Structure 1
């Protein structure tokens, strides 16, 4: 009888371990088996406010990867790795992000998945770097990665790729001649717009009007009337979904058929929810990597994601999933969870992910930066070209 009770208790502990991703970090620590080697990871993205859908999608990707790794039971130094996650809401705010970064450092995480936003990444990169904590970010502003910040890696395309290639597509495929730019004032918009403008002008596109708005603005009547007077072929918007969707609604009310172009922040199903019918078929965006449904591994990931969360993955779930797998591979290859050991391996690692091949240059940007141009059409995002 005693033996049966011991077996039953053992099964209960295993059951609790399988639910560890759903528990607070402090509780999970107490559930790990003594022989496991605990790897503490952090996550920083917006989980509240207007950008929460993007942050939660990214978090889902991280949690799927951790769940898979914990099921695989990979070994380092003869011990099974057990990954645990400390989740932080940085609210897409640089000041909050800095507080979050210090909390994650103090908690002893080996690496952080995030931040999501360029402004937050610019405010936290040095904090993570100085503490010897690896940061795997999708923030696209080119200034996020620097040779001096050797613990910071960008695991998505930068604005140098997305802004310039959207401009090439606008000039060569859409045959645009005159464009207006709307800038929400964020660090994300700054990098994206700089690259778009430079390549657009080099390819014969005239920037006829430029407006700077607040990233909390809701009324764009004056801006749109000025743009209409400039007789442009398209608007290039540097910013996020909340303002983009509001602008599209007001464009529809004003009867403006102007094309609407933006960066990866707009390549989201949330646009369809928030903009509704006003998104029409005139809205284009650019995203790093090959579109998920165009690669076999992507289709498998999308199916697993939908089964787990009840919806299709959005912009960066597969990228953050790959980020966790990158870390695990670096630790396995170096046979260590010590950052000083796995960091050099991560720096030179070649890894085939879901939608991209990961290999880093001297700045820790990706060497291969394919982007995909997409269009909102018939109530869904349709990939048009990857290059």
Structure 2
């Protein structure tokens, strides 16, 4: 009886293997089978992603993540071969909650999991502490972080996907004095690495251009009531008020400025230049001025095509950060292809060079020796009739798009 059972089992296994083999042949002819085969054989290249995906900054993180997602989908559709083998790129996304402690935990998880590279983190305050962990693990990271300190640590694995606060702050400080005619300027920042860093660079540029910073105040990135600060500022009768921080704070600040009768316009950086700011501030958003790295979407080398494909894929408009997330992921993948290796130590020199010349945001994705982008134009926007419109692009190869506004607007 035992022999009979074993014989029966042997026949059953053989039949199952035959059917499985037939099934594999049919699957090989199906669309996308190369990617499936690569995944099945273990040739999966893990790209970590970290940003705030919950909390008041989740809208930044989700849009950023969408750009990286689209980049990985595009790369996989090209049926990539690296080291003579088909590979599949896989996004491994984590929520760092815009919190430095959570960010270091995410970074350690990525290091333990031996991801091949990281796109992120989003905030400077999370990217800076996480970068030490990635450096120790030898993992390249391309972050959205703009604080100068991020690439001044001496690490060889840290790169940006946007211009630094040094570039943005210096452009805006000069712009408000020379183009808006502002002489008496008040600065407020949220004490984050991003907000304070941007405000510091802005202040330097204002003074260098001959302007005066008559008062500097600070708040935090959780505050929504600025009555005391703004009442104090109103007595200074400033020409403009500059804010370094996110739209969750700049929007209520704009509303409260109008409520207190402050005539000076609010000027800020790219975390204010969002659809969310306009939504939160409502009619009080009018006249707000903000800078953003790079060219306007319509003027980017592949901006119009990206805009169409992004909306088709995610059923929403491009806001601010997703094109930079897309290019960061594609630059990392291009470096792997050029090195013909997914080993971080082998593709890192290609990432530091200029492996990616076909970007959405720029056709010259190249870094200096610190990891800062060389091609760094800044565009200045203003809210008019409930929408962000271009005032001027400074650098980056684009002409001015419109006459500058006056500080009295």
* The two structures share one fold, judged by TM-score above 0.5: yes
Which residue in 1 is equivalent to 2:372?
A: 365
Asked if 1 retains the 8 angstrom alpha-carbon contact of 2:38 and 2:86, the reply is no
Which residue in 1 is equivalent to 2:23?
A: 6
Which residue in 1 is equivalent to 2:343?
A: 338
Which residue in 2 is equivalent to 1:84?
A: 90
SS of aligned partner of 2:146: coil
Asked if 1 retains the 8 angstrom alpha-carbon contact of 2:34 and 2:79, the reply is no
For structure 1, list consecutive stretches of 5 or more residues without a partner in the other structure: 21-29
Which residue in 2 is equivalent to 1:314?
A: 319
Which residue in 2 is equivalent to 1:243?
A: 249
Measured after TM superposition, the shift of residue 4 of structure 1 is 11
Measured after TM superposition, the shift of residue 264 of structure 1 is 1.2
Q: Would you say 1:325 and 2:330 are equivalent positions? A: yes
Asked if 1 retains the 8 angstrom alpha-carbon contact of 2:242 and 2:267, the reply is yes
- Measured in 2, the distance between the counterparts of 1:57 and 1:9 equals 38
Asked if 2 retains the 8 angstrom alpha-carbon contact of 1:147 and 1:362, the reply is no
Asked if 2 retains the 8 angstrom alpha-carbon contact of 1:147 and 1:364, the reply is no
Measured after TM superposition, the shift of residue 343 of structure 1 is 0.6
**Looking at CA atoms only, which structure, 1 or 2, has the larger radius of gyration?**
2
- TM-score scaled by length of structure 2: 0.87
How many residues of Structure 1 are paired with residues of Structure 2 in the alignment?
375
Measured after TM superposition, the shift of residue 365 of structure 1 is 0.7
Q: 1:327 to 1:286 in 2, by over 3 A?
A: same
Per-residue CA deviations over 1:144-200 (Å, capped at 9, x if unaligned) read 013620011112100010001011111121111111111111111121011100010
- TM-score scaled by length of structure 1: 0.92
Measured after TM superposition, the shift of residue 116 of structure 1 is 0.6
SS of aligned partner of 1:358: coil
Which residue in 1 is equivalent to 2:393?
A: 386
SS of aligned partner of 1:252: helix
Q: 1:312 to 1:12 in 2, by over 3 A?
A: farther
Per-residue CA deviations over 1:337-362 (Å, capped at 9, x if unaligned) read 11111111111125332122211111
Measured after TM superposition, the shift of residue 42 of structure 1 is 0.3
Q: 1:256 to 1:108 in 2, by over 3 A?
A: same
Which residue of 144, 147, 155 maps to 1:141?
Answer: 147
Q: 1:248 to 1:31 in 2, by over 3 A?
A: same
Q: Would you say 1:377 and 2:390 are equivalent positions? A: no
Asked if 1 retains the 8 angstrom alpha-carbon contact of 2:28 and 2:34, the reply is no
Q: Would you say 1:349 and 2:366 are equivalent positions? A: no
Asked if 2 retains the 8 angstrom alpha-carbon contact of 1:47 and 1:91, the reply is yes
SS of aligned partner of 1:315: coil
Alignment of 1:156-235 (within 5 A): 156-235=162-241
Measured after TM superposition, the shift of residue 323 of structure 1 is 0.8
For structure 2, list consecutive stretches of 5 or more residues without a partner in the other structure: 1-17, 395-409
Which residue in 2 is equivalent to 1:24?
A: none
Which residue of 282, 285, 290 maps to 2:295?
Answer: 290
Asked if 1 retains the 8 angstrom alpha-carbon contact of 2:331 and 2:355, the reply is no
Measured after TM superposition, the shift of residue 212 of structure 1 is 1.0
Q: Would you say 1:42 and 2:48 are equivalent positions? A: yes
- Over aligned residue pairs, what C-alpha RMSD do you find? 2.3
* Structure 1 residue runs of 4 or more that deviate by more than 3 Å after TM superposition: 1-5, 11-18
- Measured in 2, the distance between the counterparts of 1:235 and 1:156 equals 24
Measured after TM superposition, the shift of residue 248 of structure 1 is 1.0
Which residue in 2 is equivalent to 1:27?
A: none
- Measured in 2, the distance between the counterparts of 1:129 and 1:384 equals 40
Per-residue CA deviations over 1:112-143 (Å, capped at 9, x if unaligned) read 11011010011111111110011101101101
Asked if 1 retains the 8 angstrom alpha-carbon contact of 2:38 and 2:44, the reply is no
